Amino acid sequence: MSTPPPAPIAFLKGHGTENDFVLVPDPDNLLELPAAAVARLCDRRAGIGADGLLHIVRSSAHPEARAMAGEAEWFMDYRNADGSIAEMCGNGVRVFARYLQRAGHIGVGDLAVATRGGVKKVHLVKGTPAGEGDITVHMGRAVLPEETVTVTVGERAWPTRNVNMGNPHAVAFVEDLDHAGDLSTEPPFTPSAVYPEGVNIEFVVDRGERHLALRVHERGSGETRSCGTGACAVAVAAARRDGVDPAVTGVPVTYTVDLPGGRLVMTEHPDGEVDMTGPAVIVAEGHIEPALLTRSETNKR
């Protein structure tokens, strides 16, 4: 008797301000997702195409999340487009929550999501069947390491602000977003030892009072249409630059941040907690051929 072929693997496609993801529901953590397979799925020509992959697993089933299972039922096992593992993704958390809502695992109200950057609190409104309706993520407190780098593009160079939102960011305030050049590859920065595993780099301009715009190079993904943790880092850096640090003033501060893919709103509170509000939409669902996950690089040719 011949062995039946492996069953196709369910997936969905979603985005938050056009930062797009392949979602792979796997509650019991039964799938193997090596870096090469993730990179193939995220490939925009030979795969599904995405800035990253959201592996949806129950916290109790994943060794990296079991310690958080008492706080959060679900773990966002996030991978960059090149297959590398990442600590957090702000847009990804919103899309992750939208999937759980769509699948009937949760309703409206508050939700806790385990990530490698800690447990994130999410608030969902009812929205519409198509997924419209903003989602707010309580992103935690920013850490501001003293070590900084200088980022260089061509003949221009800028000092940066080091902001960690569960993942590292270098924020550069510039006169023109075009000065960032080609962000498909990581702009050089010195000293490189500050970010030995790479860094997300944001180039930021002012659009008005408490209103910013940015372009971003995400490590492992290149330039993306949006970066939620990056927008948070930019708002935190701007508050320090503008002299409105909520921990000092005792007053929350809100920044609107325009990204190539849409708009996010960030509020930092006096206790240091940062809230991010924005959309999250599921746009498609289907099945992955199992061979795409197991195909070797030599077979690919």
Q: Is 229 annotated as a binding residue?
A: yes
Q: Which residue from 274, 193, 263 is spatially nearest to 238, judged by alpha carbons?
A: 274
Q: Is 185 annotated as a binding residue?
A: no
Give the Cα separation of 21 and 246 in Å (integer): 33
Q: Decide if 241 contacts 274 (C-beta within 8 A).
A: no
Helix then strand then coil, in percent of the chain rounded to 5, is 20, 40, 40
Q: Is 298 annotated as a binding residue?
A: no
The DSSP secondary-structure symbol of 2 reads: P
Q: Is 167 annotated as a binding residue?
A: yes
Which residues face 263 on adjacent strands? Answer: 258
Give the Cα separation of 42 and 118 in Å (integer): 25
Residue carrying structure tokens 């608030």: 123
Q: Is 29 annotated as a binding residue?
A: no
Q: Is 228 annotated as a binding residue?
A: yes
Q: State the catalytic residues.
A: 89, 227
Q: Is 164 annotated as a binding residue?
A: no
Q: Is 19 annotated as a binding residue?
A: yes
Binding residues: 19, 80, 90-91, 167, 200, 218-219, 228-229
Query: Residues marked as binding for substrate?
Result: 19, 80, 90-91, 167, 200, 218-219, 228-229
